[in-house]
Chain A
């Protein structure tokens, strides 16, 4: 399987995303001005501060030419993973419900968080045991997930909430402790914490993040078989 990892001016986690993706498949960087994803089956929109977070985090990056290709890939059923700033970009692009707001604690916070895998049915967590708790790092200042009451009811009802912060870990004040959501079709997923930083115990505190990439591999290689 082949990943494209987008790179915007101000991205900073694309190299770790590339490395994590290469643990389960092939992966190449794609500059944001490029509309060609090189035949990728999956796209990772990485973390960082695209366009300096000017205006709102992700607001300007969503209009980059590469995002047209991401919208097309999503429409055709390809997998799209947005991590941190990538999650913000996907929400701004309307590929995911809701929005990310400044942390309730008003601080840039960098810490290990525990996450509960809510939906074992999601293709992004199928390699994780349902109910399993993942320990992965989070680092952001605009991570408070928000959706209006109607949207919230529908994503909860339809099983689009994929990850929740474990008790004591929701430092940003996300509604319903939501750490990661997917779209209605289930092929676009965004989360604030960083699975790509937790693929090796030595540097990531755990290798729990790997299960997200393994799940994507399982979904794509299963689809091809």
Chain B
């Protein structure tokens, strides 16, 4: 359900990544696929998620990430506003 007039304030992006040191099988699969296409010299591939949203109060972004958008036990998140 989208609420008219809500969340029109600021454009924000949240980047969510697997924490360093935790096996990231998607990253490994992509890293192995690239050389097969002739792209060499690629290392440390990690696959995460991007959440884009409009928010009235950017201070809510961090609690949103902690409670829902990311799982802080296994993921790091980065908030980019504007």
Residues of A within 8 A of B (CB): 55-56, 59-60, 63, 92, 98-99, 101-106, 144, 146-148, 173
CB within 8 Å: A-B pair count: 34
> From residue 10 to 66 of chain B, which have CB atoms closer than 8 A to chain A?
18, 22-23, 25-26, 29, 49
With A and B bound together, what is the CA distance between A144 and B18 in angstroms? 14
Q: How far is the CB of A136 from chain B (nearest CB, A)?
A: 24
Closest to B72 in A: A99
Closest to B19 in A: A148
Q: Is the interface of A mostly helix, strand, loop or mixed?
A: loop
Q: Are B68 and A59 within 8 A (Cβ)?
A: yes
Cβ contacts under 8 Å, B23 to chain A: 101, 104, 144, 173
Question: Given A106-B29, A173-B23, A146–B71 Cβ distance below 8 Å?
Answer: no
Cβ contacts under 8 Å, B79 to chain A: none
CB of B74 within 8 A of chain A? yes
Cβ contacts under 8 Å, B68 to chain A: 55, 59-60, 63
Cβ contacts under 8 Å, A103 to chain B: 25
7 nearest CB pairs, A to B: A106-B25, A99-B74, A99-B73, A104-B25, A99-B71, A106-B29, A102-B25
